[in-house]
Structure 1
Amino acid sequence: MWLFVILSQESLKRVLVITRHGIRLPLVSFPNDPCTWTCLRQQKLNFQHSNLPPPNSNLNLVFDVKKSYIGSCFAGQLADQGYVQHESLSDIWFNLYPNHFTLQKLRSTTKERVRLSGAGQLQKLNLNLSVVHEASIGFDSLAITNGCPYEYQYIKYIREHIDYKKDELNDLRTRSGWKTASWENFGDNFIAREAMGTKYPDYVTETDKKLAIDIQDEMWQNMFNNQNETLRNTYLTITSGPFVKDFQKYLETETFYIVSGHDVTITPLAQFLFVEGQWTKGLPGYASFLNAELWDINGEEMIKIRFRDGDTGIGQYMKIKPCGDYQCSKTQVFEFMNTISITNSQQRDMCNREFQM
């Protein structure tokens, strides 16, 4: 009796790495924040005190020097710890994908925290290239456009349909002197403080911290995983639709490619692609990543997606919706993604669409 053993043959063909920037400063400062914020590492790199790019670089950094903190940092700037997080990411790429470094360029959005995060990865990869902004016809498909009326109305709708703790918010507004702040403003500030180890103002309580962070995460969960399927799919399309064709292009043409982006780059992709229940959060941690891997498995092109929420570990493979398994055919994944694929012009039209329930 003959016994035949069929061995599965797998080889990794291409990798598309999509990262969220590292730890950063809050986007908006308290009006009477007495605390000091420190960004020393970037001073040494001469990134902080100049609006000019560093020598021999096309990072094209632009800081809003009018929005400075007490100390040595600007609003929204990548923190020293965030730069280190992305240096550490390059160690993971060496270990996971040692045979795939044919990188010629790295794509980034225009924000300096995103460009510097990408540069942190390149430092340890020791590659002779710089971060470039490769927008689709002058448009940034990695993040939603500024001034999207639909988004504003959608956020307003979500606030009205969760327990937004308005009395507690007004009390914190009064104590802080920040009369116009939302819970999301406070949550963004508190998450950055925790990550950077920056002291809280004395008037901020433990209850304030927990409320702000919990409500901000609940807002994000409802934005990208809303129970109203029409609203959810519309917003997922607005946020991820313009990037679909780029996503597919990189997986078909680049052996190894890094895209340095934002929370709003990763979150909609994760919520759209992953089988429900695997990742229940809405706001990914600093230095999170979503890696799409194209494999040849027994002669068929298959896609696996490795995901990490936050800055710990090498991530794990996620079950993906097109087939409900940890690996789906490239055709299945691309056809599924095409259901939300839109052009830049279509995104602008959707942003200007009247918000309806």
Structure 2
Amino acid sequence: MLLINIGLLTPTQVLITTRHGIRTSLFKMPNAPAPWICYLHHYFNFESNTTTTPKTSMKLNFDVKNLLPGTCFLGNLADQGFEQHRHLNTIWTELYPQFFQNKSYTPKTVRTTNKSRTRMSLCGQLRETSYASVSTYDLDSSVIPDACPADKRYWYSIQNGYDFENARLKEIQTKTNWNVWWDTFSDDFRSRAAMNAAFPDTLTQDDIDLANNMMDKYWCYMYQKNPNKDHQLLYSKMAIGAYCQDLIDLLNNKTQFHILSGHDTVVAPLAGVLVQDWACSQPDFASFIVLEVTDNMVKIRYRHSGDGQGEYVKQLACGEFECTVDQMKAQLKKYVMTVEERKVRCETEF
């Protein structure tokens, strides 16, 4: 992907979409050898089965039965992940002091999904515990609901339709006594590596690298390189169509400042439809994509991996580093799908 940094702007609108920080695995590997170490969740007020909005701290839906070996939970934002988002605060303060140093943002301009890891990430990103309890806004607009059969059918059509080295997969399944696909292996491996948790002795570095490479290949087929372009377009609409409409509305309303603390399943498809020469792989923890608007022109600052400020990238909307707001809105409009339309599509075949 061609990247270039073309200088610091003083935009009038900044619309930020982030992935949560480093977290534990979403799945428990059987007979995994090493403990997962977390301290961060002790600083937050977790309360099971509640949607209460607290006055001074976070109360989140959190299943305390999902214990991992050690001091963490499944999907627990790690201390390292929280620090990643505190560093994002430093980046935003340097790049956009008109919004961050003056504290001119309001609760209506920041939102999260309903996962503890995204809310805790937002808390670190804003360095204000009072904003941790901000409304999750229209949750359905930025994530495909869990109960969406078409979502799973699209995944399986890719898993079963292309070469994902099934023989090697079976070898790793045997080594770990874990009968899962590459996505689950890679989720665990990337989380372990980021948190410096030990791997099973039966695994080689080649095994780990292969799982991550297969996952990147899978993500690339999901959002950009699927030969079936009709299916890819439909799935992109399902993934971010409602959020694309949110971004159009934010542009139309000239909203000065916006953050969505979300997931790779938001950052990846958004980058896939906006960024020319996208990396076409799973975005790292704390990746982000920013729309910067100045004088009716839009630039995209994108960080796929690493810990820097991101780079300006060429846009699919016009093929240049700068596009007009109208060109950006036209590009987003190609992928708009309402929440109601998505509910219908969830029940259809791919």
Match of residue 91 from structure 1: 90
Distance 1:121 1:269 in 2: 20
Equivalent residue for 1:336, pick from 331, 336, 342? 331
Match of residue 304 from structure 1: 299
Deviation at 1:67, TM superposition (A): 1.5
Distance 1:68 1:197 in 2: 18
Please say which of residues 167-176 and 310-319 is displaced more in the overlay. 167-176
Distance 1:221 1:336 in 2: 20
Match of residue 4 from structure 2: none
Q: Deviations over 1:96-148 (max 9, x none)?
A: 0011242112200000000000000121xx58533423433xx4211111122
Distance 1:302 1:22 in 2: 30
Match of residue 141 from structure 1: 141
Deviation at 1:34, TM superposition (A): 2.4
Cα contact 1:118–1:131 (8 A) shared by 2 = no
Deviation at 1:54, TM superposition (A): 9.9
Match of residue 242 from structure 1: 242
Change (3 A) 1:161 1:205: same
Distance 2:17 2:28 in 1: 28
Alignment of 1:339-350 (within 5 A): 339-350=334-345
Distance 1:120 1:310 in 2: 19
Deviation at 1:247, TM superposition (A): 1.2
Higher Rg: 1
Match of residue 266 from structure 1: 267
Match of residue 152 from structure 1: 152
Give, as a single letter, the amino acid of the residue that structure 2 aligns with 1:93: W
RMSD across aligned positions (CA): 2.0
Higher helix share: 2
Match of residue 114 from structure 2: 110
Equivalent residue for 1:320, pick from 305, 315, 323? 315
Cα contact 1:306–1:316 (8 A) shared by 2 = yes
Distance 1:60 1:280 in 2: 36
Distance 2:53 2:36 in 1: 23
Cα contact 1:46–1:54 (8 A) shared by 2 = no
Q: Deviations over 1:162-210 (max 9, x none)?
A: 222222222222232223x111100100000110000011122222211
Number of matched residues? 333
Give, as a single letter, the amino acid of the residue that structure 2 aligns with 1:193: R
Match of residue 6 from structure 1: none
Alignment of 1:1-357 (within 5 A): 12-43=11-42, 45-47=43-45, 51=48, 56-57=55-56, 59-101=58-100, 102-105=104-107, 106-123=110-127, 126=128, 129-136=131-138, 139-179=139-179, 181-225=180-224, 226-251=226-251, 252-275=253-276, 277=277, 279-296=278-295, 301-355=296-350
Distance 1:200 1:34 in 2: 7
Deviation at 1:215, TM superposition (A): 0.5
SS in 1 for 2:141: coil
Which 4+ runs in 1 deviate beyond 4 A?
Answer: 52-55
Distance 1:224 1:247 in 2: 19
SS in 2 for 1:17: strand
Change (3 A) 1:55 1:341: closer
Give, as a single letter, the amino acid of the residue that structure 1 aligns with 2:238: I
Distance 1:122 1:11 in 2: 20
Give, as a single letter, the amino acid of the residue that structure 1 aligns with 2:137: A
Change (3 A) 1:23 1:190: same
Change (3 A) 1:206 1:302: same
Distance 2:59 2:220 in 1: 33
Gaps of 5+ in 2: 1-8
Cα contact 2:151–2:346 (8 A) shared by 1 = yes
Please say which of residues 114-123 and 336-345 is displaced more in the overlay. 336-345
Deviation at 1:95, TM superposition (A): 0.5
Match of residue 4 from structure 1: none
Cα contact 1:63–1:74 (8 A) shared by 2 = no
Change (3 A) 1:39 1:99: same
Match of residue 7 from structure 1: none
Distance 1:75 1:60 in 2: 17
Identity %: 35
Cα contact 1:158–1:219 (8 A) shared by 2 = yes
Distance 2:260 2:302 in 1: 14
Deviation at 1:90, TM superposition (A): 0.3
Cα contact 1:20–1:287 (8 A) shared by 2 = yes
Distance 1:108 1:245 in 2: 17
Gaps of 5+ in 1: 1-9
Cα contact 1:59–1:132 (8 A) shared by 2 = no
